[in-house]
Amino acid sequence: MTSDRLALDGGEPVRRELLPYGRQALTDDDIATVVQVLRSDWLTTGPKVAEFEEAIADFVGAAHAVSFSSGTAALHGAVLAAGIGPGDEVITSPLTFCATANCVLYQGATPVFADVSDDTLNLDPDDVSRRLSPRAKAILPVDYGGHPADLDEFLALADRDGLTVIEDAAHALGARYRGRRVGSISHMTVFSFHPVKHVTTGEGGMVTTNDATHARRLRMCRNHGIDSDARARQASGQWYYEMTALGCNYRLTDIASALGLSQMSRLDTNVERRRTIARQYAGSLAAIPGLRLPHTRSDAEPAWHLYPVRVDPHIVRGERDEIFRALRAEGLGVNVHYIPVHLHPYYRQRFGDRSGWWPIAEQASRELISLPMFHAMSDGEAQDVVAAVRKVMRHFVADPRTSF
């Protein structure tokens, strides 16, 4: 039995070794497939790229999947493929990783933030509709934590005004919305293969779409604005190519694609494991006063990239940051997702001080703590998370008579 004294105050920590909030899991098979590619003729834009793209398209149920060198590059590609440029506006969430809004700036357009809904912390369709101006060209919802955004509402708004819905699903590979897989619903859906995400390629990203024009533009964008790739030219004995638009080199390598492809075979199992951990947390932590667990809507099956809890400042003594430090001292690699984008120094400098403009996102960001959540977590590690949260919350809940 660990003592009740917080590790922060010199007590025995629940864990000696820090449990990270997210972490990749690689198998010997993953490594062997990568080694095979290293011995092959193609290190980049070879057969593995196409196979990996097909595997993702099949998994989500989309007609096309176009790989990119990172999730951020994929977001940029999607914004470019939607024809967004200077003078245009894209409505997005402030409660996200800064890359979501940055990709709009890359194209010389303006990210317009709308507030989030208090339950899911996803972009609020009512606030989006209030902020749509004639300059708006796209809506860019984020599936926060892996819980799908209100996609049908955004598609209806987009239909009405001729906008594109670009979904940042970096957290949501494997999630379902109204029975459909995320990746088959929005005009374009963006995934990331960063090591903390559900499938990793080291760095990597993908855009899925059912629209052939979007797919063609995405392919050009990642390859300098050239309409064919080197492998296709070699196969057809052609040397001639033309650059017809300004693109980038955002190509994913065959080395990375082989790793992603190998990881795909365990995606369903891994998402299921995350769901099990989420259920275990919910069952064990629900009774703790002052701790608000992530809400799941009845029409959503989240992919559980994160397990973000909120500490209620009315019930809990002290600040979120104190609780955060206490959890770290107990050996939990807790994190905060996110600092609202408009509060970052770059955005303050460029757009002025807009603190207070998106109050729900800002309040959430003051209360949020992401508990460790990754598919390779053992039952024992999940129990450590529960034990550490219980131990720390006992010290901070205002009414010490409550027992949990």
Ligand X SMILES: *Cc1c(COP(=O)(O)O)cnc(C)c1O
User: Catalytic residue numbers?
Assistant: 197
The site that binds ligand X (CB under 6 A) totals a number of residues, namely 14
Scanning 139-186, the segments in alpha helix (DSSP H) are 151-161
308 part of the interface to ligand X, by CB under 6 A: no
Q: Using CB under 6 A, which of 52, 59, 97, 347 touches ligand X?
A: 97
Q: How far is the CA of 227 from the CAs of 79, 101, 221, 308, 327, in angstroms?
A: 18, 28, 9, 42, 52
Is 96 a binder of ligand X (CB under 6 A)? yes
In sequence order, which residues have a C-beta less than 8 Å from that of residue 309 and are 6 or more positions away?
285, 291, 292, 293, 294, 368, 369, 370, 371, 389
Q: How many angstroms separate the CA atoms of 220 and 250, rounded?
A: 10
Q: Which stretch binds ligand X (CB under 6 A): 29-37, 167-175, 231-239, 314-322?
A: 167-175
Q: With H, G, I as helix, E, B as strand and everything else as coil, classify residue 67.
A: strand
State how far the Cα of 17 lies from the Cα of 380, in Å rounded to an integer: 13
Tell the smallest beta-carbon distance from residue 70 to ligand X (Å): 4
We find the least distance from the C-beta atom of residue 201 to ligand X, in angstroms, to be 9
Measured CA to CA, the distance from residue 268 to residue 281 in angstroms comes to 20
Q: Which of 71, 77, 148, 294 binds ligand X (CB under 6 A)?
A: 71
User: Per CB under 6 A, which region of 10-18, 96-104, 151-159, 235-243 contacts ligand X?
Assistant: 96-104
Nearer to ligand X, 72 or 257 (CB): 72
**Residue 203 Cβ, how far from ligand X at the closest point, in Å?**
6
Stretch that binds ligand X, among 57-65, 66-74, 122-130, 362-370 (CB under 6 A): 66-74
Q: Which residue is nearest to ligand X (CB)?
A: 71
Q: Is residue 66 a contact residue for ligand X (CB under 6 A)? A: no
Owner of token pair 């932590």: 285
- 168 is a contact residue toward ligand X (CB under 6 A): yes
Interface residue with ligand X, options 171, 187, 274, 395 (CB under 6 A): 171
Provide the token pair at 112: 């317009």
Closer by beta carbon to ligand X, 194 or else 219: 194
Nearer Cβ to ligand X (24/100): 100
| CA 90 from centroid of its chain's CA atoms | 18
- 335 binding ligand X? (CB under 6 A): no
Q: Any idea what DSSP says for residue 115?
A: P
Q: Is residue 24 part of the contact set for ligand X (CB under 6 A)?
A: no
217 is a contact residue toward ligand X (CB under 6 A):
no
Report the largest interatomic distance among the alpha carbons of the chain, rounded to a whole angstrom: 79
Closer to ligand X by CB, 191 or 396: give it: 191
| Alpha-carbon separation of residue 24 from 193, 200, 270, 280 (angstroms) | 10, 7, 11, 21
Cα distance between residue 245 and residue 107, in whole Å: 14
- Segment contacting ligand X (CB under 6 A): 82-90, 95-103, 215-223, 251-259? 95-103
Contact assessment for residue 173 and residue 145, using Cβ atoms and an 8 Å cutoff: no
In 198-324, the DSSP E strands lie at 205-209, 291-292, 300-301, 307-311
Running DSSP on this structure, what letter comes out for residue 238? -
Distance between CA atoms of residues 303 and 270, nearest Å: 9
Toward ligand X, which CB reaches closer, 57 or 170? 170
Write out the binding residues for ligand X, residues 99-118 only, by CB under 6 A. 99-100
Contact mark string toward ligand X, 255..274, x via CB under 6 A: --------------------
Q: Which is nearer to ligand X, 49 or 397 (CB)?
A: 49
Spatial separation of the C-alpha atoms in residues 232 and 45, rounded to whole Å = 10
Q: Which residues contact ligand X (rule: CB under 6 A)?
A: 70-72, 96-97, 99-100, 142, 168, 170-171, 192, 194, 205
